[in-house]
Amino acid sequence: MMEPENGDSRGALFVFILIALSFMAAMFVIAVVAQINKDGGLGTFGDFFGGVLNPVFSFLTFVGLLITIVMQQKEIREAKASSEKQSFETLFFQMITIHNSIVNSMDLRTEPVADPPIAGKEFHGRDCFPRFYQHLKQEIKRAEAAGADDPIQEGYEKFWARDRKDLGHYFRYLYNMIRIVDESAADTGRYMKLLRAQLSDYELIILFYNGLNEKGKRFKPYIEKYAIFDNLPTELLHKNHDLDRYSDGATTDTSIARKKMASDFLATWKRQYIDAEARGLEGLSDTFDEIVSDASEDGISLNELNGAAGGNLKEWLRRAIRKVSGE
């Protein structure tokens, strides 16, 4: 009762009072029966009853004290929870501030070229990430052209050797920030959504390929647990099937009615851009790219489109075009 595991002693107090009242009632009945059976009948019952009232009132006073203690425990527990929430929120937003300061402190400079003369360029803060993306894309394409077994792995290794001096601190801090939120007793889903909102499109792409590499393998479980790629710009991926390297949890926030959103998007897009324009199958690839791009702008991933389209978006488009064109 003094140190309850669940925060207060209401359950223990209720059991204590119930046992005490049952015991008192039993003793009272026994005493009454004993008085009746004594010589003189109920002659001395009034004296007995008066003698019982004092300990009863003392017991009720004691019960009132216990109730006061329980109420104080509840208030203390609520105040403690509020204080812990406020402390964690303060810590979280401080971490967000530090994260943004790490990003803002990034600087990239390209070397000037003498022949033909081209001045060097400078990139600062989040503007560095489109440049990182170009570096990564170049290295993956080079690995692919060289016939690498896994161009993404080999390309990322070359990219990391090139840009780790700028990205190493960024990834270490972001990983530890997510780990701290995950290990807290706070509403982790809420804070992860706020954190996701801090990441630009190109940060998400770099993080996507980092999670597929040996150096980022500890990041991947958190990515899949908290749908970090819920708004991933899939059109920036090297290939769309790269998404298959993650589970659906990485790109789908189950706390939102995503399936219905994707289904509604497909129905609306079909009416506006297939039925109304009577498109033909010769432009199927362009139509596919267009619908993926439009869905991405609405925060809907290719995985979600495939799910809403019965598992294969391109086949869904083919059937829709054939139906409207009569092919």
CA distance 64 to 144: 78
Q: Of 66-70, 124-128, 154-158, 161-165, where does mean pLDDT reach its minimum?
A: 66-70
Over the stretch 214-257, which tens digit does the pLDDT of each residue have? 888 888 999 988 888 888 888 888 888 888 888 878 877 665 55
Over the stretch 125-147, which tens digit does the pLDDT of each residue have? 889 999 999 999 999 999 999 99
Please give the DSSP secondary-structure letter assigned to residue 274. I
Average pLDDT, the chain: 80
The better pLDDT of the pair 23, 86 is held by 86
The yes-or-no verdict on residue 15 having pLDDT over 80 is: no
Average confidence (pLDDT) over 181-203: 86
Average confidence (pLDDT) over 86-104: 89
Backbone φ and ψ for 118, nearest 5 degrees, come out as -130, 125
The better pLDDT of the pair 267, 231 is held by 267
The yes-or-no verdict on residue 37 having pLDDT over 80 is: no
Per-residue confidence (pLDDT) for residue 157, from 0 to 100: 92
pLDDT-based confidence at residue 116 (cuts at 50, 70, 90): low
Task: Determine how many CB atoms are found less than 10 A away from the CB of residue 156.
Answer: 23
- State the distance between the two ends of the chain, measured CA to CA, in whole angstroms: 78
